[in-house]
Amino acid sequence: MKENAGPAATPLLHVDRVTVRFGGLVAVSELDLDVPEGSIVSLIGPNGAGKTTAFNCVSGIYTPSSGSVRFRGKRLERAFTPGTILRALAVGLLTGLLFAAAAVDVDRLWMAVVKRGMITGEPFTVSGAMERLRGYFRSELAIDQMAGKWRVVSADGSDVLAIKRDLGEAKLVRDALQAKVTARRTGPGTVPDATDLNQRDDGAAPLVALPPVKEEVLDRLAGGKSRIRWRGWLGLLAGLLLGTAGTLAVWQRGRRSPHVVARAGISRTFQNIRLFSSMSVLENVLVGLDRTIPGGVFSMLLRTPKNRRDEAEARRQAVAALEFVGLSGDANRIAGELPYGDQRRLEIARALATGAKLILLDEPAAGMNPSEAGDLAGLVERIRDRGVTVLLIEHHMNVVMRVSDRIAVLDHGTKIAEGTPAEVRRDEKVIEAYLGGEG
Amino acid sequence: MATNQAPKTSSPPASPDGPWGFLAQRWELVTLAVLAVAPLVIPALGGALGGQVTNLFIYCILALALNVMVGYTGLVHLGIASFFGIGAYVLAILTVPMYPFQIGFLAAAVIAVLVTAGTGLALGAPTLRLRGDYLAIVTLGFGEVVKVTLRNLEQITGGMKGLNPVPPPGAGVTLAGIDLGKEFAIDPRWFYYLALLSLAGVVLGMRRLENSRLGRALVAVREDELAAQAMGISATRVKLAAFAMSSAVAGLAGCLYAASLSTTADPNAYDFNRSIMVLCAVILGGLGSIPGTLLGVAILVGFDTVLAPWADSWIQQMNVNPKGLSYLSFSGWRLAIFGVALVLVMRYRPEGLIPSRRLAAELHEGGSGS
């Protein structure tokens, strides 16, 4: 935990000309702020000066309108990796397949591939199914059964071309008609003629009489191949584009979400306490420890020995964190029932439990009496001594002056002064901002 | 089951005092033991009543699935029946003799659960950024979409006829000289035990979920999404996990349902009414509370499918209603009693009959708290 670097070349947190606008209102304007590692930096200023806005910017709740926030020299964003693209493409492919299934009429596809195989009574094989699948996309004629009779039908089952009592006869008719349809697609000559198929080797009479089929029907069947493929590809493409673009858009929007910032090593407390008030005190800290507990859903469901050890270890750490802030006696109380000051300390314990290197404390001493505030100042110093850097917003001046290494003063969204406590105390602009200086 | 209880240190302090402490802490084991012995003692469970109670267990599983979403994670889900339906239909497609797959019940159930979990993810991923009412509308719409799709894909799902016959579990499997398929078909107690076993497994899983990292994350996201995110929890991921788990368990319930009826029934069996019924059961019993959810189902569904028919036949036997007037039959008043009961519970016990420790604290915050 001790990581007291000397004169750090890059500060732990580097806020560079950050501006936050809400509509026409400028909440923070061109804020520069450096927080060196191992220090306590305070952000003070009158109410509405933009301190919490600056905090929200650092912790990823707001995205600055301009400027950048760097933590250890890196921007606090999820990195754009090949995995991002791959994931988006995978989602896109899935959407594409869904769209394609809808476009080629999955109901008829199913009938053609799965049910027709059962109807003709052949044993189901994967290769047979694949053959029928190809047949569907080639719009080939197929054989179906209805009311005990065999029917020669179009692949999607919407056209019935012939009805035969005998399966063998139906097959012959199918092949003959199929040859006619294929001839229409590719031109005669490349495929056996219908009459070729329908003749015996010894040149005797045709095996079956071909039923009369309208020319338009044959034309339609010949065109069906390109139509169904066209629909399938179009659906696939549309789904692919939509799915990929959508995934990337969502990724972009969540790029700077608070949990990304928290995982980078910045944790915070809130001005209006945001505990999980119906959970127990211990559980609150355990939520803070969430990321340090390894294991997924299955080890949890099976409750493997390793999972038990990990949970027990997390509990030990949580208890240690509670001891650190002085709440170990209240571990099993409901967080919402704690007195106000204890809730603030619990928030600090929870934030520390995340293993953060930088902790943002938003008015931790609000509503405390001088003696409690003094205790809190001691706690802040002990946090620093653990090797955790602190950025503090506080109104209790004796706390600020006692603990801070550096102080930055904000007024109306702009930084009006920065320096050691002694420097800031003497600064005329600061005095003016606090006491009013119109006169 | 018995050996795998959470270690004492990890369970929050109940009050183990007094002779009833054991029962209060280990209510699952006691209930399980009673239910396991019941069919051997009560012969009626070998008849129609057995089927009704099996149905009740299946509803319990479904309600526990919904509880993951609504209770733990606080996401309003009005379409749980659609996942129930998807589970039932996938199982049926994989097992009915009409289709060439005809794989065993266990394998089919595993696939069905995976499919429903995947469907849950697919529904969740684009809609998780919606909050409260909007998510409720999406899930409501999804439920209708699934119902209509099941109805319209006639070649696949058999349309309004549904898919049947779904063979009983263990069809064709002979174990120690017992033809399991036949036994399942003849004696409803086999299904009773299968459903009870599944329910016990789901309850155990839920118990572990509650005391695990993921379970805490779910509750944290429900209570304060922003604060949870500030602790490094990815709210998206947690909600997706909730969606997937809830859908998977609902799918399991669907599998059992289709197998026990030996048909998927028609798609209207998976409509909005069923979703709402289950939601009411969860709310009545206590959001986020396992015993509460089970009690809620036992009361609501038990009332509807066990008590109401029984009362009807009793009234008929007493011959007080020779003309068959609907206001003199018990079922005629079913929904009215339902409504009144719900209103009363919401008025006097908004946290449910057996509230979860967490939610009770949330609802009474500021009132009796601090």
Of A91, A118, A288, the CB nearest to B100: A118
Mean pLDDT for the stretch of residues A22-42: 92
Confidence of residue B320 (pLDDT cuts 50, 70, 90): confident
What is the rounded average pLDDT for all residues in chain B?
85
* Token pair in block for residue A387: 């090797």
Query: Which pLDDT score, from 0 to 100, does residue B351 have?
Result: 85
Mutate to test the interface with A, among B213, B237, B249 (most CBs of A within 10 A): B213
How far, in Å, CA of B250 to CA of B264, rounded? Answer: 15
Contact assignment for B153 to A337 by CB distance below 8 Å: no
Pairs of residues, one from chain A and one from chain B, whose beta carbons lie less than 8 Å apart: 152
Q: How far is A223 from chain B (nearest CA, A)?
A: 24
- Cβ contacts of A308 on chain B, cutoff 8 Å: 7
**Yes or no, beta carbons of B362 and A277 under 8 Å apart:** yes
Q: Which of A303, A313, A316 to mutate to test the interface with B (most CBs of B within 10 A)?
A: A303
pLDDT, residue B334, reads 80
Q: Residue A83 and residue A90: Cα distance in Å, rounded?
A: 10
Spell out which residues of chain B touch residue A52, defining contact as CB-CB under 8 Å. Answer: none
Partner-chain residue, chosen from A257, A277, A293, that has the shortest CB–CB distance to B223 = A277
The model's confidence at residue B171, banded by pLDDT at 50, 70 and 90, is confident
Mean per-residue pLDDT over chain A, rounded: 88
Residue type, B234: S
Distance from CA of A429 to the nearest CA of B (A): 34
Q: How confident is the model at residue A5 (pLDDT cuts 50, 70, 90)?
A: very low
Q: Are A20 and A371 in contact (CB under 8 A)?
A: no
The torsion angles phi and psi of A339, rounded to 5 degrees, stand at -65, 160
Q: Judge whether residue A4 has pLDDT over 50.
A: no
Q: So what's the pLDDT on residue B10?
A: 37
What is the mean pLDDT of the segment spanning B76-105? 94
Better pLDDT: A381 or A202: A381
Q: Model's pTM, two decimal places?
A: 0.89
Query: Mean pLDDT, to the nearest integer, of B338-355?
Result: 86
Check residue B312 and give its pLDDT.
83
Contact A150, B135 (CB under 8 A): no
Classify strands B174-175 and B178-179 as parallel, antiparallel or unpaired.
antiparallel
CB-CB neighbors (< 8 A) of B227 in chain A:
270, 274-276
**What is the rounded CA–CA span in Å between residue B129 and residue B176?**
53
- Cβ–Cβ of B358/A337 closer than 8 Å? no
In B, which residues are within 8 Å of A313 by CB distance? none
Contacts of A351 in chain B (CB under 8 A): 230-231
Q: For the residues A80-88, what does the mean pLDDT come to?
A: 93
Say if residues A414 and A29 touch (Cβ distance below 8 Å).
yes
Whether A106 sits inside 8 A of B369 (CB atoms) is: no
Residues of A in contact with B217 (CB under 8 A): 287, 290
Amino acid of residue A179: A
Cα–Cα dist A203/A180, whole Å: 20
Q: What is the pLDDT of residue B16?
A: 45
**Which comes out higher in pLDDT, residue B13 or B19?**
B19
B235 touches chain A (CB under 8 A): yes
Mean pLDDT, to the nearest integer, of A247-268?
Answer: 91
Nearest by CB to A124, which of B9, B100, B126? B100
**Which residue segments constitute the domains of chain B, with CATH numbers given?**
20-273 (1.10.3470)
**The dihedral formed by the CA atoms of A258, A262, A266 and A271, expressed in degrees to the nearest 10:** 50
Q: Cβ–Cβ of A312/B156 closer than 8 Å?
A: no
Mean pLDDT value of segment B204-211 = 92
Q: Do B219 and A276 touch (CB under 8 A)?
A: yes
Q: Which residues of B touch A295 (CB under 8 A)?
A: 213
| B6/A395: higher pLDDT | A395
| pLDDT for B323 beyond 60 | yes
**pLDDT (0 to 100) of residue A273:** 92
Whether a cis peptide bond, with omega within 30° of 0, leads into B165 is yes
Model confidence pLDDT, tens digit, residues A381-436:
999 999 999 999 998 888 999 999 999 999 988 999 999 999 998 888 888 888 77
Task: Look at residues A311, A258, A250, A260 and name the one whose alpha carbon lies nearest to residue B214.
Answer: A311
Cα distance between residue A432 and residue A409, in whole Å: 12
Does the distance separating the beta carbons of B369 and A334 come in below 8 Å?
A: yes
Lowest mean pLDDT among A143-147, A200-204, A307-311: A200-204
Query: What pLDDT does residue A203 have?
Result: 58
Residue range A72-95: mean pLDDT, rounded? 92
What is the token pair recorded at B318? 């007493």
Q: What ipTM was reported for this prediction?
A: 0.88
* pLDDT the model gives residue B339: 86
Candidate from A257, A293, A301 with C-beta closest to B213? A293
A110, B205: Cβ pair inside 8 Å? Answer: no
Cβ count near A123 (within 10 Å): 8
Beta bridge partners of A14: A34, A70
Shortest alpha-carbon distance between residue A169 and chain B (Å): 26
Query: How does pLDDT run across B26-48, given as a tens digit for each residue?
Result: 777 888 888 988 888 888 888 88
Alpha-carbon gap: B367 to the closest alpha carbon of chain A (Å): 11
Closest-CA residue of A relative to B226 is A258
The pLDDT of A266-292, averaged and rounded, is 93
Judged by CB atoms closer than 8 Å, whether chains meet at B369 and A337 is answered as yes
B156 touches chain A (CB under 8 A): yes
**What tens digit of pLDDT does each residue of B107-137 get?**
999 999 999 999 999 999 888 888 778 999 9
CB contact under 8 A, A287 and B228: yes
* B-interface mutation test, from A52, A59, A87, A278, most B Cβ less than 10 A away: A278
B236 → chain A, closest CA residue = A254
pLDDT at B296 over 60: yes
| Range with top average pLDDT, A112-126, A158-172, B199-213 | B199-213
- For chain B, percent of residues with pLDDT exceeding 90: 52
Give CA–CA dist B289/B328, Å, rounded.
37
- The residue-averaged pLDDT of B103-108 equals 92
Q: Would you state the pLDDT for residue B6?
A: 36
Residue A59: pLDDT band by 50, 70, 90 thresholds?
A: very high
| Distance between A82 CA and the closest CA of chain B, angstroms | 20
pLDDT at B5: 37
Name the band, by pLDDT with cuts 50, 70 and 90, for residue A186.
confident
Residue-wise pLDDT for B43-78, tens only, equals: 888 888 888 899 999 999 999 999 999 999 999 999
Top pLDDT among B9 and B150 is at: B150
Who has greater pLDDT, B22 or A23? A23
Residues of B in contact with A124 (CB under 8 A): 100-101
What does the buried/exposed string (b/e) look like for A179-200 if buried means 16 or more CB atoms within 10 Å of the residue's CB?
A: bbbbbbbeeeeebbebeebbee
List pLDDT tens digits, range B278-292. Answer: 999 999 999 999 999
Of A117, A297, A354, Cβ closest to residue B232 = A354
Look at B231 and A350 and tell me if their CB atoms are within 8 Å: yes
Which pLDDT value is given to residue B8? 35
Give which of A52, A127, A259 to mutate to test B binding, by max B Cβ within 10 Å. Answer: A259
* Separation of alpha carbons B191 and B197, rounded Å: 10
Q: Range with the lowest mean pLDDT among A140-144, A318-322, A394-398, B14-18?
A: B14-18
A312 to B152: CB separation less than 8 angstroms, yes or no: no
What is the per-residue pLDDT for A274? Answer: 94
Is residue A45 a contact partner of residue A71, using CB atoms and an 8 Å limit?
A: no
φ and ψ at residue A219, rounded to 5 degrees: -60, -45
Q: For residue A57, which amino acid is it?
A: C
Per-residue pLDDT tens digits for B214-247? 999 999 999 999 999 999 999 999 999 999 999 9
Residue A6: the pLDDT is: 45
- Mean pLDDT, residues A183-201: 67
Q: Rounded to an integer, what distance in angstroms lies between the CA atom of residue B260 and that of residue A19?
A: 63
| Residue B330 pLDDT exceeds 50 | yes
Nearest-Cα residue of chain A relative to residue B205: A301
A196 confidence band (pLDDT: 50, 70, 90): low
Whether A165 shows a pLDDT value over 50: the answer reads yes
The three-class DSSP label of residue A31 is strand
Per-residue pLDDT, A166: 86
Contact A297 B152 (CB under 8 A): no
Bridge-based pairing of strands B178-179 and A13-22 is unpaired
C-alpha torsion angle, residues B46, B52, B53, B57 (rounded to 10): 130
CA distance A60 to chain B (A): 9
pLDDT band of B81, cuts 50, 70, 90? very high
Residue A112 has pLDDT above 50, yes or no: yes
pLDDT digits 0-9 by tens, A203-251: 555 667 777 778 888 888 888 888 889 999 999 999 999 999 999 998 9
pLDDT band at A185 (very low <50, low <70, confident <90, very high): confident
A262 vs B229: CB contact, 8 Å cut-off? Answer: yes
